[in-house]
Amino acid sequence: MTDEHTLAGAGAGEARTPARYAYYPGCSLHGTSREFDESLRAVAAALGVSLTEIPDWSCCGASSGHTTDHMLGVALPARNLAIAEEQGFDQVLAPCAACYNRLSAARLAVDTEAGFAERVPEIIGRPFANSVEVHNAVELLRDAAPAIEEKVAAALVPNPLDGVKLAAYYGCLLVRPFEVCGYDDPERPTSMDEVIAACGAEPVDWNMKVECCGGSFSVSRTASVVRLGRSIIEDARANGAEAIVVACPLCHSNLDLRQKAMVQRGSRPMPVLFVTQLVGLALGLTPVELGMPRHFVNTEPFLADLVQRAAERVAAEQKVKEEAAAKAAARREKAGV
């Protein structure tokens, strides 16, 4: 099943060759976090990045595969990489943090563990040269930060995110272990913060950036997930954040779907946005395009508030301009021009 997005309106004067990725959605992006997929495609199109879904892609083993057997945990993701290779790609985009982590871990294992480079192709029944690079959505957006900034500055509609305080929540799998991920600091990462800044918002300095959300214990040990999620949300709040930005389907579902149990009755809800939705908003895409109605914590009041504040900001700036112009005119009159 191929799903091709061509370079749509890459922007006037966009001389750069757009990036081309083989796209690995994994089970979540077409399922429970469909909005991550929708917003990612919309933003990719806006940035001129082409995503081609890997044909016949299969499970990456992120839940039980890798805890059952090490070789199985490597062969499962490697199969998808081998297909991407075959299709002539040298980069794979895996937005789900767990898929990203398993695909990258498979690359490392095939590269460093004795005998894996020979055995894995045998198991998956395909040649595998371990030549494709694996990236996640945060990396893609961080590398595109200059382009995002440009577009935000050039947009006609005032940026609703201007100066808004947001907490970048990385969770566990985007940056750890360092040998597998390697693109950001595993204890105090900054890649998503850079994306937030490129969108014109203000990433807050807070303490729970890489603390666990409870992951797949959402069903089996819900109380733990509630406790962990609470400390994440409350720390974000205590450090001034108005919303939390994530790049992992499970983090999103834990903090969004389960939020009602986490926060005190009557306290302000904390919207949880995917980083791709955030960039989409900054680029002027609509909340519907970005799948925001799918969230459990209603984002409409938050977005409406942002739009209003943006309008107020614009009005205030306009007023200042008018006053300055009036003063200048008064000065000219006095000078007797």
**Contact present, 198 and 145 (Cβ < 8 Å):** yes
297 DSSP assignment: S
179 binds other proteins (CB under 8 A): no
Q: Which is nearer to other proteins, 231 or 308 (CB)?
A: 231
187 binds other proteins (CB under 8 A): yes
**Contact present, 293 and 166 (Cβ < 8 Å):** no
CA atoms within 13 A on the CB side of 241: 29
227 binds other proteins (CB under 8 A): no
4 φ, ψ (degrees, to nearest 5): -105, 135
Q: What is the DSSP string of 232-284?
A: HHHHHHHTT-SEEEE--HHHHHHHHTTHHHHSPTTSPP--EEEHHHHHHHHTT
At 81, which helix (H) or strand (E)?
helix 70-86
Choose the binding region for other proteins from 45-53, 126-134, 152-160, 185-193 (rule: CB under 8 A). Answer: 185-193
Nearest by Cα to 275 from 333, 216, 207, 194: 194
What's the closest the beta carbon of residue 218 comes to other proteins, in angstroms? 22
Q: Which is nearer to other proteins, 205 or 300 (CB)?
A: 205
The correct pick among 1, 12, 15, 114 for binding other proteins (CB under 8 A) is 114
Choose the binding region for other proteins from 21-29, 30-38, 159-167, 179-187 (rule: CB under 8 A). Answer: 179-187
Choose the binding region for other proteins from 56-64, 90-98, 184-192, 316-324 (rule: CB under 8 A). Answer: 184-192
**Which of the residues 277 through 336 are near other proteins (CB under 8 A)?**
none
118 binds other proteins (CB under 8 A): no
Q: Which two tokens stand for residue 92?
A: 């794979």
Give 6-12 contacts, CB < 8 A, sequence gap 24+.
6/50, 7/48, 7/50, 8/45, 8/46, 8/48, 9/46, 10/48, 11/48, 11/151
Q: Which is nearer to other proteins, 235 or 256 (CB)?
A: 235
188 binds other proteins (CB under 8 A): yes
Q: Which is nearer to other proteins, 186 or 284 (CB)?
A: 186
238 binds other proteins (CB under 8 A): yes
The correct pick among 207, 216, 222, 224 for binding other proteins (CB under 8 A) is 207
11 binds other proteins (CB under 8 A): no
How many residues make contact with other proteins (CB under 8 A)?
8
Q: Contact residues for other proteins (CB under 8 A)? A: 114, 185-188, 207, 235, 238
